[in-house]
């Protein structure tokens, strides 16, 4: 295992120190590194809090700032944050409008955020993201997994909260965006969890995992490596069939790298996916390409399609200033 590490046990803490120092104009690190919060708080708006296991950077800490999250709780690598982390984050950013938890659909995340919601003082509500069409159930989740579509929910709901939407409105909006968002991933290599020191799974030189999860959990099936167009075709077909959107629908296309995929390949996949989705009658009105919801050093990518309307398009376009997204 070759990684830039001093000691495995200190990896997360030292990384968080570096993140907070590099983006000190945007974020503040909470006590005992339990959470990252935006530097400039707005006590009049709904506060958005998310989090999950580390190893998916820039999700979630990279999306803390104006127009997105107010706080993010980093668990250990691929491990849910603890309830006390979540409660302290909520208390640090909560105002009169309440706190909205955005939670990916994994058993540990859901359990710990539910416990935190019961403990936390003040008004809270929860949105669960479950955009992965690859499998209905896995060892790691209750039903469909929450993956890169979580970023889209955080951005759109974050913009609405910034504009003054109340807690009930933010919940309804987040649930609507999640219901209109689908994702699917493919892995060309495994990731290597530092504490384990060896790849999570093994792929042959001519194999890939179709429908892989962001922790390296199995997908639909293991298949022979194919050309990019064939890979994009299977993924866009699964997504479009599940969305069943009317012809002419406007959509956002996110091509997300898993951490070990060169940008040149991500744009190639975007070109293929966009072409295929447009052939199916979708109009790609917004785009995002890059490594935003990663799986450590895994080579691979995911495609996410989110149907848009006038309101969600405007909220997607709204100003955002975080470490990972700025416009």
Centre a 10 Å sphere on the Cβ of residue 21 and count the other Cβ atoms it contains. 10
Can you state the angle between helices 107-119 and 83-93, rounded to 10 degrees?
50
CA 196 to CA 178: how far, in whole Å?
33
Return the closest-CA partner of residue 196 out of 275, 296, 267.
296
Half-sphere exposure of 49 (CA within 13 A, CB side): 35
CA 189 to chain centroid: 20
Question: Is residue 60 annotated as a catalytic residue, yes or no?
Answer: no
Name the active-site residue from 23, 60, 66, 215. Answer: 215
Q: Which residue is catalytic, options 23, 56, 60, 66?
A: 56
CA distance 78 to 53: 4
Check if 215 is active-site. yes
Q: How far apart are CA 8 and CA 260, in angstroms?
A: 20
CA angle 65, 62, 5 (to 5 degrees): 145
* Gap between the Cα atoms of 121 and 90, Å rounded: 9
| Rounded distance between C-alpha atoms, residue 100 and residue 123, angstroms | 9
CA distances from 128 to 174, 178, 224, 274, 287 (A): 9, 8, 34, 27, 23
Per-residue DSSP letters for 266-299?
HHHHHHHHHHHHHHTT-EEEEEEEE-SS--TTB-
C-alpha gyration radius of the chain? 19
CB 228 within 8 A of CB 303: no
The set of catalytic residues is 56, 215
């Amino acid at each position: 295992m070759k990684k830039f590490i001093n000691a495995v046990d200190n990896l997360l803490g030292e990384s968080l120190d570096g993140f907070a120092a590099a983006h000190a104009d945007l974020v503040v690190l909470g006590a005992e590194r339990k959470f990252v919060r935006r530097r400039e708080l707005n006590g009049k708006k709904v506060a958005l809090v998310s989090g999950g296991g580390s190893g998916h950077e820039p999700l979630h800490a990279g999306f803390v700032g104006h127009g997105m999250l107010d706080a993010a709780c980093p668990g250990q690598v691929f491990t849910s944050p603890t309830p006390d982390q979540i409660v302290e984050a909520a208390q640090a950013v909560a105002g009169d409008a309440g706190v909205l938890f955005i939670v990916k659909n994994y058993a540990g995340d859901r359990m710990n955020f539910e416990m935190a919601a019961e403990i936390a003082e003040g008004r809270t509500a929860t949105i669960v993201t479950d955009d992965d069409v690859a499998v209905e159930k896995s060892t790691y989740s209750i039903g469909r997994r929450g993956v890169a579509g979580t970023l889209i929910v955080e951005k759109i709901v974050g913009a609405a909260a910034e504009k003054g939407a109340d807690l009930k409105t933010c919940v309804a909006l987040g649930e609507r965006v999640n219901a209109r968002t689908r994702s699917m991933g493919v892995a060309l290599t495994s990731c290597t969890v530092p504490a384990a020191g060896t790849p999570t799974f093994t792929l042959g030189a001519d194999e890939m995992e179709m429908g892989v999860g962001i922790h390296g959990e199995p997908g639909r099936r293991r298949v022979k490596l194919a050309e990019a167009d064939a890979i994009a075709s299977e993924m866009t077909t699964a997504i479009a069939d599940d969305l069943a959107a009317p012809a002419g629908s406007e959509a956002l296309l996110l091509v997300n790298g898993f951490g070990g995929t060169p940008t040149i390949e991500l744009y190639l996949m975007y070109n293929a996916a966009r072409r295929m989705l447009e052939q199916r009658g979708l109009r790609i009105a917004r785009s995002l390409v890059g490594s935003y919801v990663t799986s450590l050093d895994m080579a691979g990518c995911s495609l996410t399609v989110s149907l848009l309307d006038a309101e969600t398009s405007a909220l997607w376009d709204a100003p955002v200033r975080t470490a990972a997204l700025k416009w």
